Structure 1
Amino acid sequence: MTALFVALIAVGAFIRVPLPNCPFTLQILFTTLAGIVLGSRLGAASVGIYIVLGLIGVPIFTSGGGPGYILQPTFGYLIGFMVGAYAVGRIAESMEKLSFKRLLVGSILNLFIVYGLGMIYLYFIMNLYLGKPIGVEAVIITCFLIPVGPDIFLCAVAASLGKRIVKELHR
């Protein structure tokens, strides 16, 4: 199952809507599902394996791959995917019976972790490394306000699918 989620996360990177500095992909759906279905450790591990594969040169990130990708403005989102998958996985593990409402709350917490780490990383890489100044307001508008609506919808999809998948796996 971990390998399946590594593959789904990679595929999710290529199903994207380009936005300035912050491409919108289906990765949030698959990384959230990884946490819900696999649990905190394996969910985070599946994202970690995806990141390692990309960093060793497999072109599975939204803009390629290789060790230099660490200096891409969007690399912080990848870190956020791993931390967020762990967080939503912990929430799912803490439930005796999965509820859509709690999975949705966990999914949205995951989303805020991803956005928080992603925007902070982007801000510092753009301003300190790339020398392309960007203000906090611009980061919030282009990397949060614009893409957050579709991602909240994907959180609801992940909570619903995750509940069904876990139920089926535990039959």
Structure 2
Amino acid sequence: MKIKDMIICSLFAALMAVGANVAPFLTIGGIPITLQLLFAILAGGLLGSRLGSLAMGLYLLLGLIGAPVFAQFRGGIGSILSPTFGYVISFIFVAYVVGKLLEKESVSRVHYISAGMLAIIVNYIIGTNYTYFALTFWAEAPEGFSYIVAWSWMGAYLPIDIGVTIFALIMVPKLKKALNYRPEVKQKAA
């Protein structure tokens, strides 16, 4: 791995830490917002699947070893027990999926739309299922909690996540051009 790639992966891990902790300052309609999905999509779109997921993995590792990079400036191995920890895990897969779809030489609008839809789907499937299992098995679930309730909670976040995803995908080609950063993508042997 090149030093430039290590630096940019570290930068995205740092951006995730900032994005995780903007919620006290950024609320839309009473819903606290983090910018983690934005930075996970940007990591995949700009760095490609390998480096994007590596950057998100670095963020996860930093938090687990105790750096206060998760939401509400939390960190440590105990974070695994948080009902929302599944979303943190999902960012690795979000970056990978977005990167895979956008690291081709010619990328069409269909690739961008697919990348955005898959980013949200991956984020919600991993995160919401983790939340459900955490609240069911080791955390205290609210009265009347069910699998359907866990998914219905996501309805409040969906419009915001769609907006964040669209913004991220509009920014990817502009940032690629402005930064002139092209990670090496391993080509299949002929």
- TM-score, structure 1 normalization: 0.90
TM alignment of 1:4-15, pairs within 5 A? 4-15=11-22
1:112 aligns with 2:121: yes
Percent same amino acid among aligned pairs? 38
1:39 to 20, 28, 48: 48
Supply the RMSD in Å over aligned alpha carbons: 2.0
Question: C-alpha deviations, 1:8-52, integer Å up to 9, x for none?
Answer: 111100112579xx9531110011000000000110010100011
Kept in 2, the 8 Å contact 1:88–1:109? The answer is yes
Q: Which amino acid aligns with 1:124?
A: F
CA–CA separation in structure 2 for the residues paired with 1:73 and 1:170: 36
CA–CA separation in structure 1 for the residues paired with 2:109 and 2:16: 22
Q: Tell me which stretches of 4 or more aligned residues in structure 1 moved more than 6 Å.
A: none
Q: Which amino acid aligns with 1:136?
A: Y
1:164 aligns with 2:183: no
Q: Which amino acid aligns with 2:21?
A: F
1:98 match: secondary structure: coil
Shift of 1:101: 4.2
TM alignment of 1:44-55, pairs within 5 A? 44-55=53-64
Question: C-alpha deviations, 1:119-148, integer Å up to 9, x for none?
Answer: 000000100112426211211121x21101
Q: Which amino acid aligns with 1:91?
A: L
2:94 to 84, 91, 99: 84
Kept in 2, the 8 Å contact 1:104–1:155? The answer is no
What's 2:186 paired with? none
2:147 to 121, 129, 136: 136
CA–CA separation in structure 2 for the residues paired with 1:100 and 1:26: 23
Q: Which amino acid aligns with 2:105?
A: E
Question: C-alpha deviations, 1:70-123, integer Å up to 9, x for none?
Answer: 010001001111111101100011x32233442232022011101110000000
2:79 to 54, 69, 79: 69
Shift of 1:155: 0.8
How many matched pairs?
167
User: In terms of Rg, which structure is larger?
Assistant: 2
- TM-score, structure 2 normalization: 0.81
Q: Which runs of 5+ in 2 are unaligned?
A: 1-7, 183-190
CA–CA separation in structure 1 for the residues paired with 2:85 and 2:64: 10
